Structure formats: C-alpha cells, structure tokens
Amino acid sequence: MSQSEHIYDCVIVGGGPAGVSCALECHESALDVVVLEREERVGGQLPLIPSPIFNYVAGYFENGEMARNELEKVAKLFLGERLLTNCNVQSVDLTKKQILTNRGNFRGRTIFLATGYRLKQWDFPVPERFAGDVLYRSGIVRDQLRGKPIAIIGGGDSAVFTALDLAGHDCPVTVLARSEKFKARPDIVDSMYRHENITVHTGTIVKHMDGGPKLERIVTENSKGDIEVTCEKVIAKLGYVPNTELFADQLVTLQGHIKVNENQATSLEAVFAGGDIVMPGYDRVAFAAGTGMMAARSIRCYLGQTP
Ligand SMILES: Cc1cc2nc3c(=O)[nH]c(=O)nc-3n(C[C@H](O)[C@H](O)[C@H](O)COP(=O)(O)OP(=O)(O)OC[C@H]3O[C@@H](n4cnc5c(N)ncnc54)[C@H](O)[C@@H]3O)c2cc1C
C-alpha cells in the first residue's frame, strides 16, 4: 500500500513537546501514529531556551538544548520511523483528514495539531545592507555583542530581560517601545529604568536606519520629535505568534489560537490540538506535554479504546 493510501490512526503535525508527548502515549496504546516535523530534529522551541529550565517536573535542565536531547532520545527509541523530520506540512484538509507535505501525502482517522509558536517579525522595511544587523535573539551571540551599542525594540518581558542582560555585558542599551506603557513585569521595568547603561524611549516609531556599510544609528520619532539612537545592532523582541495559518480558517479560533475544550478537541470532529497554539492555554513545556497526553487519551476514546 502506498503512503497516500495508508490511513493512520493519528497524524501529528509538529514534533515539539506537545506533538511528541501525544505520539508516545498513542504508541503506548498501540495506535498507528506518525509525527510530521519540518525541522531536522524534534524538540520545537526547546533548543532556543538559553537559560536553565527549572519549572518542568521531569527534571532540571541546564538549558533547552539538554531538554531537547532527552526528548529526542525517548522519541527515537519508541517512535523510530514514525518520527518524520525534514517533513514540512504544506497544506491541511481537516475535513478529509488529509495532509500534504514535501515527503508525500498523509491521511489519518484523527489529527493532532501541535505547531507551536514562532517569533514575531519586525514589520519595518529593513534595508538589505542592514539585514544582518537586525537580530531576534541575543543569548547565543551575547559575547560578540559585549560593549557594543544596541537598540532593543519591544515593551514586553523579553525586551526588558534582554536589555538588562546586555546592559550587564557592558552594552550601552536603548529600549524603544511603541506604546507609552511597558507590558513587562513591573519589577523588571523598574530595574531597567534604574540601570545606568539603559536609556528608554516610549511612544516611539522607527523612521530610518543609517550607516554604511554597517548599521551606525537609527532615527525614531515620538511626540517630542526625532531621536537619534547610536547602535550597531537592533534586537527585535516583539513576542510570539502561533503557527496556525495553515488550518486556522477551518476551525474556531480565539486571537489566532485554536479553541479547544477540556479534552483538547477542536471545533471539528476527530481533530485535536495542544501546546502553545491552543486557547485556553499557557506557553510552557509542562502544558505542552500535558495537553499532548490529554489529546492522546481523547484520540483513544474516539477510536473506540477504553479511556
Ligand atoms: C526563549 C524561550 C524560553 C522559554 N523558557 C521556558 C521555560 O523556562 N519553561 C517552560 O516551561 N517553557 C519555556 N518556553 C516555552 C516552551 O518552549 C514552549 O511552551 C513549548 O516548546 C511549546 O511546545 P509545543 O510543542 O506546543 O510547540 P513547539 O515547541 O513550538 O513545537 C512545535 C513544532 O512544530 C513544528 N512545525 C510548525 N509548523 C510546522 C509545519 N508546517 N510542518 C511541520 N512541522 C511544523 C515546529 O518546527 C516545531 O518543532 C520558552 C520558550 C522560548 C522561546
């Protein structure tokens, strides 16, 4: 039987903590399951976590890469060929339960959606020559940035944490927030305002990026006029968005997230979702793993197994 004729008990889209958790439980229940993951390795956002993870009950991990290695080990051990990496889901027909990928078509009796979050991109038209001077993450290159003037765009926790981190690495930091009030935790906003290496401008919109050939400054505007900010790098910390564009128009959504009930069921029969992309939800590893597990239970029940 060819791949496109085979009908799996469950096709899982996304190999992060939610997808792998669901797959392991389906496998333990002897269900015919496959995980489709577009990256070369499973683990989702885990390898992007530069700091220790100490809010996940499975153990203490010095960083996200360590947690990913453990997840990958158990996934490969039990799922083997049922874990398809470099497999990019290109279109999804949730009514027919058909999924089109660069590695062929997949059909399932049920589907579990677990495509996670991605960083929100800066909507400023960055000139080509400065493309390399706009970063979305600083943790990995922090040592290369030491002492350099940096502009940070954003007003949430991530922007403020990054400002404090780089200011502590001798960088003169300027934080540019679009709104007048920071969304970030008040305690860290306080520390930011008190830090001698950090300058803050609120209510600002970036107008130009200047320099040549490398970035030297940006010009922003607020109600008082133009402000020139010396910087060699811009770090955009604008938050995260759910990867739901492929299927959101086929389901009931809430603020771009997939609406689910307490069994992780979506508005379509036999379609379940979990992890960061669902509402109600919480973008944490434990929540992703738990909702993957809950979805597996619902899938078993749907397919006629006892809970
Ligand atoms: C910097 C940072 C720090 C964090 N710190 C913590 C922390 O300390 N503690 C904590 O609990 N949580 C933390 N988190 C959050 C945690 O990583 C996420 O909540 C968790 O990874 C969500 O799991 P998920 O499976 O829902 O999604 P993801 O981990 O995002 O996995 C989704 C997977 O789906 C794949 N995918 C997406 N679209 C497609 C497609 N079209 N085709 C095929 N595959 C696709 C992606 O490649 C990805 O592998 C942090 C996150 C970040 C970014």
pLDDT greater than 80 at residue 152: yes
- 72: Cβ below 6 Å to ligand 1? no
- For 304, other C-beta atoms within 10 Å of its C-beta total 6
Q: Which atom of ligand 1 is nearest to the CA of 118?
A: 30
pLDDT greater than 70 at residue 234: yes
pLDDT at 139: 76
Domain spans in the chain, listed from the N-terminal domain onward = 7-119+240-302, 128-236
pLDDT at 137: 87
How far away, in angstroms, is 116 Cα from ligand 1 center? 5
How far away, in angstroms, is 276 Cα from ligand 1 center? 7
How far away, in angstroms, is 215 Cα from ligand 1 center? 31
User: How many whole angstroms separate alpha carbon 226 and alpha carbon 210?
Assistant: 14
- Residue to mutate (ligand 1; options 285, 291, 293, 294; most atoms within 8 A of CB): 285
pLDDT at 273: 98
pLDDT greater than 90 at residue 238: yes
User: How many whole angstroms separate alpha carbon 169 and alpha carbon 149?
Assistant: 11
How far away, in angstroms, is 81 Cα from ligand 1 center? 22
pLDDT at 159: 94
pLDDT greater than 80 at residue 286: yes
Confidence of residue 305 (pLDDT cuts 50, 70, 90): confident
**Percent of the chain whose pLDDT exceeds 90:** 89
Mean per-residue pLDDT for 125-150? Answer: 92
What number of residues does the chain have? Answer: 307
Mean per-residue pLDDT for 167-177? Answer: 96
Q: Give the tokens for residue 167.
A: 């200011």
Q: Which atom of ligand 1 is nearest to the CA of 90?
A: 41
- Residue to mutate (ligand 1; options 35, 37, 41, 45; most atoms within 8 A of CB): 45
CATH code reported for the domain at 128-236:
3.50.50.60
Residue type, position 154, single letter: G
pLDDT tens per residue across span 53-62: 989 999 999 9
Q: Which atom of ligand 1 is nearest to the CA of 17?
A: 25
pLDDT at 3: 65
pLDDT at 51: 78
pTM as predicted: 0.89
> Which CATH number fits the domain 7-119+240-302, given the four candidates 2.60.40.650, 3.50.50.60, 3.40.50.12780, 3.40.109.10?
3.50.50.60
Tokens 């990019």 identify what position?
A: 88
pLDDT greater than 70 at residue 65: yes
Tokens 């922007």 identify what position?
A: 159
User: How many whole angstroms separate alpha carbon 53 and alpha carbon 239?
Assistant: 19
User: How many whole angstroms separate alpha carbon 221 and alpha carbon 98?
Assistant: 49
pLDDT tens per residue across span 1-30: 566 689 999 999 999 999 999 999 999 999
At 46 the three-state DSSP class reads: helix
**Percent of the chain whose pLDDT exceeds 70:** 99
pLDDT greater than 70 at residue 100: yes
- For 260, other C-beta atoms within 10 Å of its C-beta total 27
How far away, in angstroms, is 117 Cα from ligand 1 center? 6
Mean per-residue pLDDT for 136-161? Answer: 91
The DSSP call for residue 134 is E
Q: What is the mean pLDDT of the chain?
A: 95
pLDDT tens per residue across span 178-224: 999 999 989 999 999 999 999 999 999 999 999 988 999 999 999 88
Mean per-residue pLDDT for 242-271? Answer: 97
Q: Give the tokens for residue 223.
A: 């109600």
Query: Going along 168-301, which residue ranges are E strands?
Result: 173-176, 198-201, 205-211, 215-222, 225-230, 233-236, 240-242, 253-254, 257-259, 271-273, 278-279
| CATH topology identical between 7-119+240-302 and 128-236 | yes
Q: Which atom of ligand 1 is nearest to the CA of 50?
A: 1
Question: For residues 35 and 86, is the Cβ–Cβ distance under 8 A?
Answer: no
Q: Give the tokens for residue 168.
A: 């502590």
| CA geometry: angle 77, 81, 86, nearest 5 deg | 110
- 165: Cβ below 6 Å to ligand 1? no
Residue 73 CB contacts under 8 Å (≥ 6 apart), including other chains: none
Residue type, position 122, single letter: W
Q: Which atom of ligand 1 is nearest to the CA of 291?
A: 26
C-alpha distances out from residue 171 to 99, 140, 162, 198, Å: 47, 15, 11, 9
Question: For residues 3 and 82, is the Cβ–Cβ distance under 8 A?
Answer: no
Mean per-residue pLDDT for 150-177? Answer: 95
Tell me the backbone φ, ψ of residue 74, rounded to 5 degrees.
-70, -35
pLDDT greater than 70 at residue 170: yes
Q: What are residue 228's DSSP bridge partners?
A: 219
